[in-house]
Homo-oligomer: A and B are copies of this chain.
Amino acid sequence: MRGPSRHRGATLDDVARRAEVSAMTVSNALNHPDRLSDETLARVRAAIEDLDYRPNRSARTLRSQTSRLVGVRVERSRQDRAALLLDQFLHALAESASGLGYHLIVCHAAGDTAELAAYQELRQTTAVDAFVLTGAHRDDARRRWMREQGVTFACFGRSWDLDPDSPGAFPWVDVDGAAGIRAAVEHLAGQGHTEIGLVGWPADSDLGRDRERGWREACADLGLPARVQAHVVDEFDAGRDAAHRLLDAPRGGPVPSALVCVSDTLALGVLRALSERGLRPGHDVAVTGFDNSPSAALTTPGLTSVDQPLADVAAALMRLVDAELSGVRPSATHALLPPRLVVRDSSLAR
């Protein structure tokens, strides 16, 4: 039942189309054959055989007595954040889960302690098989608990404090933020910019330090200075204030002609500051963001941004979870995926 073609096999909808019946009828054929006429049942069964369709979740649940449920936590979204990255991720995860015969259980929790309590409760009351964690951080109590309880999990976000090949390592999938920022710097240098500033996060953020490294190393490789920078919290107004500060060029320092931002939220704040100073994005100061949020495409001018391959992240996480639950040893327990720069008018002088 677990042949290599399973993940790309025929779907219930394919069977329905071939048998010229509704998806519901196919589902009935699998679960309540007595509800169908002999003729319909025969037609559906022929289609199932022709397409080598393997009913996934229902059949496998009955077989394995597992719940086929994967838990994931959501936090309240904030109006001042552009990304809503985790919302888009949740969609991608639901789709990947569905493709492997799982469903997601979403639990709401604010903070790691509440999250852990919610997970514990889910394990007790609903027999959740596994968890997908988001927002990995150092010394993560959630990871420790999962390990202690022998719970299957995988994390969106790498183990900053652990060598991925060490015995204490855990399965993770992440996006290479430094490479994304490097791509933005190289694009701006290609547009002729020689003083490229950074609007980053505070130094206590592993993610922020990683992205800053991408800026610093790319500038060094290009022979450009990496000296104009601000480090602020991930809020629209913080990005706006940082841009004003950097463009004021305190103490006669260099004035940047381009600002690379570590999030779209910050970049959209920078665009507001440019408007307030009567500067044209792209023409006067080039701006790039990170996340390629819906706002990046829809704001005017469009915001150049680093796109995270969320569908790939979600698919890789679900494969890790599925492999562990199936007792299959995956070829790798972590993956660092490359992002992609989407160029729009905010970084073009036209």
Chain A residues with a Cβ under 8 A of chain B: 12-13, 16, 22-24, 26-27, 31, 57-58, 61-62, 67-69, 74-77, 79-82, 84, 87-88, 90-91, 94-95, 97-98, 103-109, 113-114, 116-118, 120-122, 124-126, 236, 265, 268-269, 271-272, 275, 292-295, 297-301
Contact = CB atoms under 8 A, between A and B. Distances in A.
Contact of A300 (B77, B117, B122, B272): B272
Contacts of A124: 31, 58
Contacts of A107: 94, 98, 103-104
A94 B69 CA distance: 16
A95 B76 contact: yes
Contacts of A74: 90-91, 94
Given A23-B116, A80-B294, A269-B298, 19 more contacts: A23-B117, A27-B121, A57-B125, A62-B125, A68-B126, A69-B126, A77-B87, A79-B292, A80-B297, A82-B295, A95-B108, A103-B106, A103-B122, A236-B298, A268-B300, A275-B300, A294-B295, A295-B295, A295-B299
Given A91-B87, A95-B76, A125-B57, A24 B113 contact: yes
9 contacts: A13-B114, A57-B121, A69-B126, A74-B94, A81-B294, A84-B88, A95-B108, A268-B299, A295-B295
